Amino acid sequence: MSPLISATDLDALLASGAPVRLLDVRWRLDRPEGRPDYVAGHLPGAVYVDLDRELSRRGEPQDGRHPLPAAADLEAAARRWGVRAGDTVVAYDDVQSVAAARAWWLLSRSGVADVRVLDGGLRAWTAAGLAIETGDVRHAAGDVQLHDIADGAIGLDAAAVWPDSGVLLDVRAAERYRGDTEPMDPRAGHIPGAVNLPTTLHLDGGRFRDLASIAASFAAAGAVPGTAVAAYCGSGVTAAHTALAGALAGLDIAVYPGSWSQWSNTRGRPVATGPTPSGRVEPD
């Protein structure tokens, strides 16, 4: 089953009466508080999900900017959203599905069997002429049970040695990878041995590219089936988007949630600058 769902397919699924919980995960770096936009218009029945407070937790700088929430806290949040055992959960946002992918990755790795992302997000929904509603939606408490992420998340030490036996993807913009600029974190550059593959290469007009194009982008960076692949970004959000793209291409990509924000705030960790290592393709 694809982790993506189109607007028309979602509309049909909702019309069928299937148990679906819609999550509006609007968030972006320059506007992290998405609730006002949610209240102004969202998919019918969708609940607002706060990425900063519910899909991450507060931490120290050395934890990174978006540390993973505790399983009990994520479960409590999912129950507030009304998620019940057996529900199909569909997450969406309005900026290239980056925030929605964080919800997809967290929930699917924590025990929700059927989590999907609305391809193209809110814009695809409205472009299809489908209805939206205003105001705040609250559902009766759900009963979903979640667990700690046991597979698919790696820590700082694992990220350090990952290039020795696999491919570590830095999915930030090329200029941040090279160390030309660093607008968010204390040091510029990348984890030594990491290969640059900006997650935006998997998109076309806000939707995911065809599977052959996505697979080709991964292959150019050395990420092919049978290879151990992990991804990091600035704070672990965009890396989940790359994990979603990888799932479309048949790759099981681990995520380093601490990402560059943790690495650059940890004393003694080396920093590399410049282009992708020789022999790899640096998409730009």
Distances (CA, A) of 250 to 237, 244, 283: 20, 10, 21
Helices (H) and strands (E) in the chain, counts: 11, 11
Question: From the candidates 233, 248, 251, 253, which is the catalytic residue?
Answer: 233
In angstroms, the CA 209 to CA 202 distance is: 6
Report the chain's mean pLDDT, rounded to a whole number. 94
Q: Is the pLDDT at 156 greater than 60, yes or no?
A: yes
Grouping H, G, I as helix, E, B as strand and the rest as coil, residue 33 is coil
Confidence category of residue 281, pLDDT binned at 50, 70, 90: very low
In angstroms, the CA 195 to CA 185 distance is: 19
Domain at 156-263: CATH code: 3.40.250.10
Residue type, 235: S
Mean pLDDT of 164-192: 96
Q: What is the residue extent of each domain of the chain?
A: 4-127, 156-263
Q: Is the pLDDT at 282 greater than 60, yes or no?
A: no
| Rounded percentage of the chain residues whose pLDDT exceeds 70 | 97
Q: Is the pLDDT at 119 greater than 90, yes or no?
A: yes
Q: What is the pLDDT of residue 153?
A: 97
- Rg value, the chain, Cα: 18
Between 150 and 70, residue with greater pLDDT: 70
| Rounded percentage of the chain residues whose pLDDT exceeds 90 | 91
Q: What is the pLDDT of residue 284?
A: 33
Confidence category of residue 277, pLDDT binned at 50, 70, 90: low
**Domains 4-127 and 156-263 fall in the same CATH topology:** yes
Mean pLDDT of 150-161: 95
Q: How many residues does the chain have?
A: 284
233 is catalytic: yes
Q: What is the pLDDT of residue 165?
A: 96
Q: What is the pLDDT of residue 30?
A: 78
Domain at 4-127: CATH code: 3.40.250.10
Q: Is the pLDDT at 280 greater than 70, yes or no?
A: no
Residue type, 236: G
